Structure 1
C-alpha cells in the first residue's frame, strides 16, 4: 500500500526537476508553456508530459484571458507592504482564483499534485506578485522587448522570493523571529526555510530506504520500566528519542540528530499526542494500569494505516497495559468496507510479556460506526482526530460526529496543522456543546511534529502535523 511520492517543495517551486526531483549539480529548463515547472532533461520532460499537459494548458490559458487579468490584478498593491493580514488575504484569494480558473479549464477537480503547484507558487514576500502576474503586467503595459524581471529567491534559504526592487522591504520581515517556530528557541523565517530545505534533502535520501514517500517510520524498541509523564516540564523530542534513535540508525557521534528527530517526529507525533491527551483528560493515572486501553482514531486515512507500527510506542511507555486496541475509523480508511480486526505483530519484549496490539479498521464516519454498533458500542478511553481539517475542508462530514462525542461524553481531542485551523475547529467544537478544557486548545501541541512546512497560499509562516491542539473535552 505504497503512496506515490508527490513532487517535493523544490520541484513545486521550479528549483528541482519536476519528474525525477533532482536538484543538485544539474541544469534545469523551464516548461515553455506554463513556466511553472522545470526539468533536468528532455527525457524527464517527455516522460512527464502526459501528466503535466492538462495543468500546463490550464495555467497557460490564464495569461490570455482578459477576465482573468482583471480578477487577478484587483487589489494588487502598487507598493511593498509587511502587513501580514493583507498579504495572506491577498495570496489566499489569488490562489483560490487560480485554482478555480484551472479547474474550469480542466473540467474536473485538480489532483493533489496540481493543487500543490498553485498553493506553493512562488510569490513576492511583500507584494504577492508571481512570475505569471509579472508577465501579465508587462504584456498589459505594452509587451517590452526584453523579458520582464522575474522573482529572485533569497540567496540564503532559496525558498522565499521577492521582486528584485522589494528586497529592502522584505528583509526585515524575512529575518525577524517567526512565531511558528516549534520548541522554545525562536528562529527567523529564513532560518526555518533553511531547516525545511535540509528536511527535503533528508527525505530524498530516505526515499526507498525506509518508505517510498521519504518518510522515516521509526519507533524505539525499548520498553520503559514505568510510566513517565509526557506532560512534565522539560520533556522534548530530543530528550525522549535522540539517544535511542542514534543507536538505532546509527548516526556517528559528530553528526547532528536534528534532521532524524524531525523526520521521526512526523509519525511519532500520533502516539505521543495520544499519551499527552490521555494524561491531560483523565482525572488520575489509573488509565496507565488498565488491562486493555482503547483508542479510537477518527477520520483515519492512509497515513495512520501506513504508520501503524509507531503506535506500539504507547505500549512501550505503559508497561502495565496488556492490550492496546486501536480503532481506525474514517471514510478514507483503505480496504475496510467490511470492518477488519487484526492482531498486530509486537516487538520481542512485548511478545515475551504478553502485551498485544489489536487494530480494527472501519471505512465509515464515526457517527456511522457508533450507530451501527448499537448497544454493542463501548466508549473508548480516548477519541482523537488528527488534523481533520473540519473547519476548512471537510466540514460536511463532521457535525454529526462532534454531536455524538459531546452527547456521549467521550474523552476527545482534535488536532490541527496551524493556528487558523485550530481556532476554526475550536469554534465548531464549542458550537457543538463541547466544554474545552484549559490547556487543551486552541494552542500549541507540545508533541506536534517538529518538522515544519511552509504554509500554502502564504508568503510567511509554517505548519506542522498535529502542530496545534484545537480542543480537548470529556
Structure 2
C-alpha cells in the first residue's frame, strides 16, 4: 500500500488544497472552523475532515481562550522591525505557545502534520502577526490599525507575507536584499521563487513516477583521475552531464533538476570535500579500500534511501577499489551486530572489479566503537550528517564527541542552518576538538541547494548539509 504523502509546503501554508494539494486553476476556500487550511472543493474537505477535525477544533478554541489572547499578544512589536533576532524570537515563541495550547486541547502530543501547520503558518515579515492574531485583534478591539484584516502575499513569490501596505514597505529591503541562506547573491524573494519551482518539479515527478516526488540522480561516468573540488559548483560540475542524462533541451534551465539532485548527492560530495581538507596529501585517493563511518539520527535516513549516490565517491576516485560505508544510528533497522549489505555498482565499476559495501548498525557511534573493542579499525572519515547534536540528545552526542577527539578519528559534522552549526561547533570545541578552518562553522559549498523556508520564522532557509559545523582529525 502506497504511503500517503505529507502535505507539501503550499498546503501547510493554506495556499494549496490540503487534501489533493492542487494550487493552480482551482478556487480555494478556507476551513470555516480554523481558517488555517484550504480546500479546492467540498469533496476534498469531506475526505480530509476526519483527519483534520481534532486540530481544527484545537486551533479554533484558541480564539475563545482569554489566557491565549493575553499570552499571544504579549511579545508583538508595536512597530514594524527588520531586526531578525526580534522577529525570530517572536515567531518561535508564538509557535511554541500555539503548540502548547493545542497539546492541552487535544490531550495528546501533536502529530508531525499538525506541527507543520503551526511551524509554517504565514506571518507578517516585520511584525510576525498571523491571520489568527489579526482576527483576535479585531475581535478584541473592534477595529485594527492594519489596512487589511488578512495577510497579503508577495505578488512575486507568494511565500512571504505582510499584514498591510505599510508593513510591506518596511519589509522591502529585507525581502529583496541578498539572503545569507541563498546562493549566487539571490534575494529572499528570489529564493522563495526557487522553492516554488522545486515544489512544482516534485509534483511533476510524483505524478510521473507515482512516488514521493524525491528524485535522485548521480552521473554514471568514472573520472580518469582525482581532481580537487576547489572552485567548482553544482551547476558547473554536473549541469552538462545531467542535461545529457535526463534529456533536457538546451533552451530549458537545469535549476530544478540540479537542486533536486543535490539533495542526496550532497552526501557523497561533502565526504569528498572533507577528505580533501583533512588530508595533507593525495595518498587517500589511491587507497585500495576507503572506509567511511556515517553516524546518523532520525527516521528519514537519507543515507539509506539515497544509497546509490555514494557511488560518486568511487567515480571520482578511480584508484580506489572498494568503498566501505558503515551506517550507524539508534534508529537503524537491525541490531547491534553489523549487517553487511553488498550493493551493486555501475557496469563499468563492476567490470573493473570495484565494490561498494554497506554495513548497518543499530547503535550510537560510541556504542558501536566500544562493542568492536580491539577489532575496531579507524575509518578514513566519520561523518554525521545533520546530526542535530545541539538540539537533542546532547548527552549522547557528547560521549561520541569525546571518543572521536580522544581516538583522533577524522570527523565532520554538518547542520541544516547557521544556528545549529555554530551551536554544534561550540560543543565540539568544548570536547577538545581543534576545528579545521575550512570545515566550519561555515556554509557548505557542497550542501544541498534545494532549500526549505525555516519553520517558525519569517526569514531564512535551511538545507540538507547546508552548513559545516566542524571538521577535525
TM-score of the alignment, normalized to the shorter chain, above 0.5: yes
User: What value does the CA root-mean-square deviation take over the aligned residues?
Assistant: 1.8
Question: In structure 1, which of residues 266, 282, 286 is the aligned counterpart of residue 279 of structure 2?
Answer: 282
2:85 corresponds to 1:88: no
Q: How does 1:49-448 map to 2 (within 5 A)?
A: 49-142=49-142, 149-165=149-165, 166-182=167-183, 185-209=184-208, 212-230=211-229, 232-233=230-231, 235-301=232-298, 302-335=301-334, 339-448=338-447
Quick one: distance in 2 between partners of 1:437 and 1:87? 33
Deviations, residues 173-207 of structure 1 (Å, cap 9, x unaligned): 2111212222xx21111111111111111111111
Residues 222 and 447 (structure 1), Cα distance of their counterparts in 2 relative to 1, 3 Å cut: same
CA shift, 1:365, in A, is 0.9
CA shift, 1:37, in A, is 0.7
Give the aligned length. 468
CA shift, 1:337, in A, is 6.1
CA shift, 1:63, in A, is 1.2
Quick one: distance in 2 between partners of 1:371 and 1:204? 45
List runs of 5+ in structure 2 lacking aligned partners. none
Quick one: distance in 1 between partners of 2:42 and 2:375? 61
Quick one: distance in 2 between partners of 1:404 and 1:367? 7
CA shift, 1:394, in A, is 3.7
CA shift, 1:211, in A, is 7.3
Deviations, residues 191-248 of structure 1 (Å, cap 9, x unaligned): 1111111111111111154572211111111111111111x22x01011111111111
1:134 and 1:148 in contact (8 A); partners too: no
Residues 209 and 31 (structure 1), Cα distance of their counterparts in 2 relative to 1, 3 Å cut: same
Deviates more, 1:38-47 or 1:101-110: 101-110
Deviates more, 1:112-121 or 1:150-159: 112-121
Deviations, residues 389-422 of structure 1 (Å, cap 9, x unaligned): 1112342431111111111111000001111111
Q: Normalised by the size of structure 2, how large is the TM-score?
A: 0.95
Residues 50 and 40 (structure 1), Cα distance of their counterparts in 2 relative to 1, 3 Å cut: same
1:210 and 1:217 in contact (8 A); partners too: no
List runs of 5+ in structure 1 lacking aligned partners. none
Quick one: distance in 2 between partners of 1:335 and 1:212? 26
Quick one: distance in 2 between partners of 1:463 and 1:35? 27
1:211 and 1:217 in contact (8 A); partners too: no
**Match for residue 9 of structure 1?**
9
2:382 and 2:412 in contact (8 A); partners too: yes
Q: Normalised by the size of structure 1, how large is the TM-score?
A: 0.95
Quick one: distance in 2 between partners of 1:300 and 1:336? 15
2:148 and 2:164 in contact (8 A); partners too: no
1:138 and 1:148 in contact (8 A); partners too: no
2:38 corresponds to 1:41: no
Quick one: distance in 2 between partners of 1:206 and 1:366? 35
Instruction: Please state whether the residue corresponding to 2:470 is helix, strand or coil.
Output: strand
Residues 325 and 208 (structure 1), Cα distance of their counterparts in 2 relative to 1, 3 Å cut: farther
Deviates more, 1:106-115 or 1:445-454: 106-115
CA shift, 1:315, in A, is 0.6
Deviations, residues 339-393 of structure 1 (Å, cap 9, x unaligned): 3110001110010001100001111111111111112111111000111111123
Deviations, residues 313-338 of structure 1 (Å, cap 9, x unaligned): 00111111111000111112235565
